[in-house]
Amino acid sequence: VQPPEKPLQAEEWNKLREDFQVPDIFEEVMLNSMIRCNSPIDVAKSLLTDLAKRNGDIGYSVLVKYLTLCVQQGQVSEIRDVYDIMKVRFKILEGGAYNLLVKGLSNSDQWRMALTLLEEIKKIMIPSRTCYESCIKAASRHQEMKLAFALYREMLAKDVVPTLDVLQSFFDFSRGMTGAELQKELFGILLYLRENQIYPHKTFMRSIKLWFESIPGGNWRGHLTNIKDSGQCPVCKHQLEDSNLTEEEYSNLSERIIKDVIHGTDTFRKTSPKEFEAFQTFVENRLPFDIVIDGLNVSHIKSRRMQCENLFDAVNCLAKENARLLVLGRKHMLMNSSNWKREIMKEMQTKADFFFAENISEDDTFLLYATLRSGKHCRFVTRDFLRDHKACLSDSLTRHLFRKWQRGHQISKPKCFFSVFSQQPAFRYDCVVQTTGDTWHIPYKDVFEEKYSYQVPKEWLCLQQK
């Protein structure tokens, strides 16, 4: 339906309604298309007037739609009127209307009313993140940073996850302001990014940079840079944090892997207690390994070649460095077949230790166990992202630990290797927001660049105090 351009008389609305196939929902459809076309508010008013005259009442959903239109156009007095009507008419409102009201009012000079409305919402439910977002933005826009931070802390306390927009607005509006308190709060936000492994996007990064450089007397200078594989910042020559886990984190992670991933609800799902015990004694007798290889995964690298040849190449290449290797496989690899030649398998077993699991067991869990058991220096080779094993871990903190450890210890190869088995180095440094007091290093992502959960940004913001 095309909304009319001007307010219409009752007869004219009637005519339009009759032409419409489903007269019952005429008003809602019409208002929806008005919202889409951003029609003048008077047209919507004339429709409401007609509706009120005919029925003597206007439904809640129609009022909310009208409110949407008012908020869209920033008609503050109308928003207030609608709120007054709604408040009298209904005992409480639902989330959608509250969101609209708060959003509409916070963008106007009556933003304090949005705050009182927020208090009202809290009595009924937990306000949505958009409610908090509007209020925080309104407060910081009017330089009431204390209030904004109070709201922010309240939001975190209620487990409402703030949007990156809110966090960015803090940096935008604090630019050039002094105060140790304020600085502490903003550093707190950066630490929040660190703890939750969130990477800011480019514009957010710019806001951070501008804020740092605007601190009066702070002498902060920011540079955009790429970090080398060695983990050294090319600008300030600072060595980034190591990707290794601490002793406590390490033992915590290995414990959880055994508990959640290998055993889970039922040890029989991935292996059997007997087999796992056999594997444990096998590993303990031969510790420590330098590299653990997922045999089946590696054997599928090049589909045109025989599977055991692929594995043979990999083992040969890695064995040259005089490393202690462990190859994990399944029992069917020992059967002489077109893909698995017995002679080649025998030759490989002189260069590396092999463990063959049952055909229906999952060898990935063994891979994780053997690597973790061998210690921090040990790495593993597989193309698998190990997402399903990560998913078995029960809390997000351990999942973060797992990702970090995986980044530091997994070797995944480039897609095609020819004669030389070239490895992609595991990350030596940890990719999170980090500080030493007089420097900050903040990884950021380009908004246009696609980023998967296993990828980490290569671009960094280096901030140093002179």
Partner 1 sequence: MQSANMLLRKIVRSSVLPFAAQHVMKKDLFPLSRTLSLSLCLKQDKSCEPSEKLDLDEWKKVMKSGLQEEVSETVSEPEKLSSLAAARETLEMWRLAGRAVPENISEEQLKTFMECPSKSAKKKYLKYLHLKELHKKNDKRKMAEKRERRLEAQDQASKTDDETKTSPFICLWSRTMDKAYNWRAAQSMIFGQPLVFDMSYEKEMSVREVTNTVKQIILSESCNRRSPDPFHIHFCNLKDDSLYHREFIENYREAWSKLLVTVTDQCYTEIFPKDKLIYLTADSPKVMKTFDHDKIYIVGSMVDKSIKRGVSLARAKRLGLETAALPLEKYLLWNTGAKNLTLDQMMHILLTLKDTADWKKALEFVPKRKYCGFVNKPVKELKKTLDLINTLKIGKRRENIEKQFAKNCPKK
Contact residues toward partner 1 (CB under 8 A) are: 2, 4-9, 11-12, 15-16, 19, 28, 42, 45-46, 48-49, 51-53, 56-61, 64, 81, 85, 88-94, 96-97, 124-125, 265-270, 272, 359-360
Min. distance of Cβ 328 from partner 1 in angstroms? 19
Min. distance of Cβ 105 from partner 1 in angstroms? 18
Min. distance of Cβ 56 from partner 1 in angstroms? 6
Give the contacts of 402 (CB within 8 A, at least 6 positions apart): 253, 257, 389, 390, 393
Contact between residue 185 and residue 153 where contact means Cβ atoms under 8 Å apart: no
Q: Report the candidate in 433, 445, 397 with the shortest Cα–Cα distance to residue 187.
A: 433
- Looking at the Cβ atoms of 96 and 234, the one nearer to partner 1 is 96
Min. distance of Cβ 82 from partner 1 in angstroms? 9
- Looking at the Cβ atoms of 39 and 374, the one nearer to partner 1 is 39
Give the contacts of 17 (CB within 8 A, at least 6 positions apart): 23, 26
Instruction: Write out the two tokens for 17.
Output: 């309604």
- Looking at the Cβ atoms of 45 and 201, the one nearer to partner 1 is 45
- Looking at the Cβ atoms of 14 and 214, the one nearer to partner 1 is 14
Min. distance of Cβ 269 from partner 1 in angstroms? 4
**How wide is the angle at C-alpha 287 spanned by C-alphas 282 and 292, nearest 5°?**
85
- Looking at the Cβ atoms of 97 and 167, the one nearer to partner 1 is 97
Min. distance of Cβ 101 from partner 1 in angstroms? 14
Give the contacts of 49 (CB within 8 A, at least 6 positions apart): 10
SS3 call for 279: helix
Min. distance of Cβ 410 from partner 1 in angstroms? 23
- Looking at the Cβ atoms of 58 and 164, the one nearer to partner 1 is 58
Look at the block and give the residue holding tokens 């109070």: 150
Residue 401: exposure state from Cβ atoms within 10 A (0-12, 13-18, ≥19): buried
Min. distance of Cβ 225 from partner 1 in angstroms? 34
* DSSP characters over 12-49: HHHHHHHHSS-GGGHHHHHHHHHHHHT--HHHHHHHHH
Residue 383: exposure state from Cβ atoms within 10 A (0-12, 13-18, ≥19): middle
- Looking at the Cβ atoms of 58 and 236, the one nearer to partner 1 is 58
E strands in 277-332: 291-294, 325-330
- Looking at the Cβ atoms of 250 and 385, the one nearer to partner 1 is 385
Contact between residue 18 and residue 36 where contact means Cβ atoms under 8 Å apart: no
